[in-house]
Amino acid sequence: MTEPLVPAADGSAAPPESTSESAARPAAEAAPTAAPAGRAGRNGSQPLLQIEHLKTYFPIFGGIFRRKVGSVYAVDDVSLEVKKGETLGLVGESGCGKTTLGRSVLRLTEPTAGRVVFDGIDVASLKGDSLKKIRARMQIVFQDPMSSLNPRMPISDIIGEGLLAQADKANGWAKRDVRDKRVGDSLESVGLRREYSRRYPHEFSGGQRQRIGIARALALQPDFIVCDEPVSALDVSIQSQVLNLLLDLREEFELTYLFIAHNLSVVEYVSDRVGVMYLGKLVELADVQMLYRDARHPYTIALLSAIPDPDPRVRKKRLVLKGDVPSPAAPPSGCHFHTRCWLREQLGNPENCATEDPPLREFAAGHLVACHWAEQVSTRTVATAAAQTPAVVTADLVDEEAELPPVAPLPGPTDALGPDSPQGPTGP
Amino acid sequence: MTEALAAPPRPSPAPEQPLLDVRGLKTYFHTLDGVVKAVDGVDFTLPRGGTIGIVGESGSGKSVTAYTLMRLIDIPPGEIAGGQALFEGRDLLTLPMGEMRRIRGNDIAMIFQEPMTSLNPVFTIGDQIAEAVKLHQRVNDREAMNRAIEALRLVGIAAPERRVKQYPHELSGGMRQRAMIAMALSCEPKLLIADEPTTALDVTIQAQILELIKAIQERTGAALILITHDLAVVAEVCQQIVVMYAGRVVESGLVTDVLLRPEHPYTQGLLNSMPSDKKRGERLTAIQGVVPSPFRLPPGCKFAPRCVYAWDRCQEEPELLASGDRLVRCWLQAPGETARRARFEADAAATVEALLNDEPEPGAAAESPPA
């Protein structure tokens, strides 16, 4: 039962030389609905982006001197690589650090530690001109098309701003007409008319604004785009239009995507490989089909079980997690997931879940899992857990109760508007 | 109307009477730029203890429908321009406000989309739930607080006697939504209207809340109107579905009929837009174009400009026609359009095929039309 844990923990999650392993993978798990030829061919290529032990912590200041009293461990030792031409999906619930990871890669948020190697260059150590140069090759599409476009700028300036920043003698982007031509091309490539460049953001619908956000990312002809929840603010019919656009652009410009989203069906649809994050850690990473069919981390399984099924004939028994995601400022000891883990409960709460942080180990070729007990996951254990899920799952976790205000006798006559202090025990 | 006023424990009406019967509902807004017909023809019937899902994209009028039923529309600029909403035989749209206030909370309760903005930040959760109880039932403060605690326990909040003293900001998003549900349930309503109850929540929390709503609905026997943009959520929770587009019902019926055999091109388009593993590597068949501006609605069928099946007959607006057990607003379903309908049905069958699980339940075979 206690499989010797492969000490593949650090970094070797994605060693740069392991092309042999990645080349073997697509052949091994060739599913019936194989990806079209154009995409399958790219999988074996060189990594474009390597993230090694990336940590991004945000300080918490407190007290009258605003001293640092703690940290939010937004991204906590994540290592992964993105191959040229592939789409790596990143899923997880809010607060799991997926957005921070995306921003740290571009250094929009400074990482606390770790390396980000883009095409052989360590991004984390770059400064000044060389950082600016590499940023032209890495772009981002933001989630909210309302707040990510400056309402006071016409589209030509919104898209042209990046060009202006990158202007030099060779490209001539300092001249407005040269720049505007590029802006127009960019707009056309996302299916908007060139003339729209004179308009302002408020003149567009949500879907069109997201297209503008994509056009801005494309204007500098990047190799790599971080798509941070690009469709979650959009309506269903518009969402599919934008997804189609992203797929078309990937083909046309040979783009590599880091696709961040919380909608698991969308991620399944666009990604080649998918990573699952929980409380700042990467807990599972695998080929999209492997992950959706044969997930091994108890959290991934619960996440997949939570997707509503559009088939009204099936009333599936869900495996519902209890409680909420704990605070990333005070993550649980050992495995961050152990407080909500159904597998641990079924195995009789083994000690090491609470004490030892499980390393991300290679469970099968190209399938990385950070769980001590991944071997115990089977259709039987999952079914048992689903069967044991009560109809009303409690919202609280046991250890969370400690932070609640103490029990006091019910307040006496309060007028409905008298807000008595929640913390202070109202004296009996 | 007056008898109902006089006798608080209402005599239970005839069993065949639906709990809520909405006919030809119309809600307009008079703005400086013109009249917005936000809801323009909504019909549905909800039996006692039934569940109905109203789906549509933003601007389709689904939320305005709910607000109209609760009479929460500001008049002016709003105007309830027509229709009836018979709740146990009484028309909600014409009741005096005082009586409507008694129905809200007691008989019909609503769960709003954004729990942070619909809870008052300066009062504790307990005070807010107890306030609702006291407004509607003759109980003292202590009893009201006990009811609040009970309601919180029912929605799966552990240690509710301590939680009642917390303020909304001290709770997580899922917990706040549970508190909203507890508040709605505190007076044991006969009808629960949930307006996008899980849209602001994460997937695992969404699963918790959906399971909770299902469990409570079964336990208390309350009827449910669930408003959402997610067809899959409706498939999970509801028996009936109403699909809305541009303020109108375009298709309604049993969930198992409508989702497995859509008869309106818009319903089919929504199903087509949903990504699934079978569609990996292909483009999604997106609905062309965008929802029309409410100031410039097209003449005739409102969906025609985006519809791939539209032809000249669609210049005229179709009525909501009965088609078997369901209602459809589309000329394709009119008598005599057999050839066009056959083409659409073949496409629709392929759409459903690409979305569903591979192994259908035994006995659910007789649904695919001849392709």
Over residues B304-308, the mean pLDDT reads 89
Contacting residues for B312 by C-beta, under 8 A, at least 6 apart: none
What tokens were used for A127?
A: 């400064």
Q: Is B114 on the interface with A (CB under 8 A)?
A: no
Residue B258 φ then ψ, to 5°:
-65, -45
pLDDT value at residue A300:
92
Decide if B283 and A244 are in contact by the 8 Å CB cutoff: yes
Q: What is the DSSP letter of B191?
A: E
Q: Which two tokens stand for residue B59?
A: 């601007």
The mean pLDDT of B344-358, rounded to a whole number, is: 82
Cβ neighbourhood burial of A344 (10 Å; 0-12, 13-18, 19+): buried
Q: Are strands A224-228 and A113-118 parallel, antiparallel or unpaired?
A: unpaired
Give Cβ neighbours of residue B116 (< 8 Å, ≥ 6 apart): B168, B173, B176
Per-residue pLDDT, averaged over B78-104, amounts to 87
CA B111 to chain CA mean position, Å: 11
What number is the average pLDDT over the span B85-104? 88
Q: Is B249 helix (H, G, I), strand (E, B) or coil?
A: strand
* pLDDT per residue of chain A (428 residues) written in tens, 0 to 9: 444 444 444 434 444 444 444 444 344 343 344 344 344 444 456 789 999 999 999 988 888 888 888 888 889 899 999 999 999 999 988 888 888 999 999 888 889 999 999 988 888 888 888 888 888 899 999 887 778 899 999 999 999 998 898 888 888 888 888 888 999 999 988 888 888 889 999 888 888 899 999 999 999 899 999 999 888 878 888 888 889 999 999 998 999 999 998 888 889 999 999 999 999 999 999 999 899 888 899 999 988 888 888 888 877 778 888 877 888 888 888 899 998 888 888 888 888 888 889 999 988 888 999 999 888 888 888 888 888 777 677 665 544 444 555 554 444 444 433 344 344 343 33
> What residues of A are in contact with residue B216 (Cβ under 8 Å)?
392
The whole-number pLDDT of residue A64 equals 81
Q: Which of B 143-172 lie inside 8 A of A, CB atoms?
A: 145-146, 154-159, 161-163, 165-167, 170, 172
pTM of the model: 0.80
Q: Does the beta-carbon distance from A413 to B158 stay under 8 Å?
A: no
Is B207's Cβ below 8 Å from some Cβ in A? yes
Residue B268, pLDDT > 70, answer: yes
Q: Which amino acid is at A31?
A: A
Backbone angles phi, psi at B263, to 5 degrees: -115, -10
Q: Which chain A residues are closer than 8 Å to B131 by Cβ?
A: 416
Q: Do B235 and A35 touch (CB under 8 A)?
A: no
pLDDT confidence of residue A215: 92
A74 and A280 Cβ atoms separated by less than 8 Å: yes
pLDDT of residue A418: 39
Give me the sheet containing B78-87, strands edge to edge: B34-46, B20-31, B78-87, B90-91
Residue B265's pLDDT is what?
92
Whose CA is closest to A340, among A319, A367, A318, A316?
A: A319
Task: Concatenate the DSSP letters of all residues of A293-314 into one string.
Answer: HS--SHHHHHHHHTSPPS-TT-
Q: Cβ(A343)–Cβ(B230) under 8 Å? A: no
Q: Which residues between 316 and 375 in chain A have a beta carbon less than 8 angstroms from any beta carbon of chain B?
A: 318, 320-322, 324-325
User: Please, what's the largest Cα pairwise distance for chain B?
Assistant: 68
Asked whether A306 and A298 are in contact (CB, 8 A), the reply is: no
Q: Tokens standing for B231?
A: 């067809």
Nearest Cα neighbor of A241 from A227, A250, A251, A231 is: A231
B275 → closest Cβ in A243, A303, A401: A243
CA distance A275 to A90: 5
C-alpha angle B201-B206-B212 in degrees, rounded to nearest 5 = 130
Order across the sheet with B326-328: list the strands: B108-111, B191-195, B223-228, B51-55, B240-245, B248-254, B326-328, B321-323
Task: Look at residue A368 in the predicted model and tell me its pLDDT.
Answer: 93
Residue type, B348: A
Window A:266-295, CB contacts with B under 8 Å:
266, 268-270, 288-289, 292
Q: Which of A321-335, A396-410, B196-210, B346-360 has the lowest mean pLDDT?
A: A396-410
Helix axes B141-154, B173-185, angle to 10 degrees: 120
Query: Interface pTM (ipTM) of the complex?
Result: 0.80
B308 CB within 8 Å of a chain A CB: no
Q: Give the gap in angstroms from C-alpha A167 to the nearest C-alpha of chain B.
A: 36
Residue with tokens 């409905």: A416
Question: What's the first-to-final CA gap in chain A, in angstroms?
Answer: 54
Question: Could you tell me which residues come within 8 angstroms of residue B14 by beta carbon, excluding any fewer than 6 positions away?
Answer: none
**Exposed, middle or buried: residue A327 (CB in 10 Å: 0-12, 13-18, 19+)?**
middle
Residue A395, pLDDT score: 65
Taking the mean position of all CA atoms in its chain, how far away is CA B344?
27
- Position A422 scores a pLDDT of 40
Mean pLDDT, residues B326-330: 90
Buried b / exposed e along A31-42 (16+ C-beta atoms within 10 A): eeeebeeebeeb
Q: Indicate the residue type of B2.
A: T
Q: Is B85 helix (H, G, I), strand (E, B) or coil?
A: strand
pLDDT reading at B237 higher than 60: yes
Contacts of B269 in chain A (CB under 8 A): 237
CB B93 within 8 A of CB B82: no
In angstroms, the separation between the Cα of residue A403 and the nearest Cα of chain B is: 10
Instruction: Give the nearest partner residue to B212 out of A392, A411, A415, using CB atoms.
Output: A392
The closest alpha carbon to B306, from B327, B324, B292, B326, belongs to B292
- Can you give the length of chain B in residues? 371
Phi/psi for A158 (5° steps) reads -60, -45
- Least Cα distance to A46 among A10, A87, A82, A89 occurs for A82
Query: Measured between CA atoms, how close is B81 to chain A, in angstroms?
Result: 28
